[in-house]
Amino acid sequence: MAIRNIREIGDNVLTKVSREIKTVDKRIKVLIDDMLDTLYDAEGVGLAAPQIGILKRLVVIDVSEEGNDPIILINPEILEVDGSQVGNEGCLSVPGKVGTVERPNYVKVKAYDKNMEEFILEGTELLARALCHEIDHLNGILYVDKAIDGVRDLYEEVEEE
């Protein structure tokens, strides 16, 4: 298990569409473990494989308060969305920045677990936002492309409060 380098905005890998995972072999299992280690080390909510330079359709998310309840999504696909939420969004690949993004308030996703067994996941609020954000990464889309009012310095936001 290792902490990988997180690619930052401007890196071309972040604008490419990721490839489907056909089988979960030892390399994919190591990748999942490394992504979780990297996510927790960076104190993030989600991480997509392209963010560490791997163009595979793999996402890890952990929105639990304790940071010990990870969700692993292989080949995730959004099936249904509903409602709307507008709020600040950040990204490990866009450090120190934040932008206002509109996302669905409810999302239903089909994905595969690390045993390649299909499952359905439904999420609202933060989980819905994280699912959309991370799946966008798999399609070469960053939140800055969707920010309503551009991106701002995160540290300015903290000082104002």
Residue burial 89-116, b: 16+ Cβ < 10 Å; e: rest: bbbbbbeebbbbbebbbbbbbebbeeee
Return the structure tokens found at 7. 């690619």
Find out whether 57 and 114 touch, Cβ atoms under 8 Å: no
| Chain center to CA of 134 | 3
Question: Catalytic site residues?
Answer: 134
Find out whether 37 and 30 touch, Cβ atoms under 8 Å: no
| Burial class of residue 159, CB neighbours in 10 A (0-12, 13-18, 19+) | exposed
- Give the CA dihedral 135, 125, 35, 142, nearest 10 degrees: 40
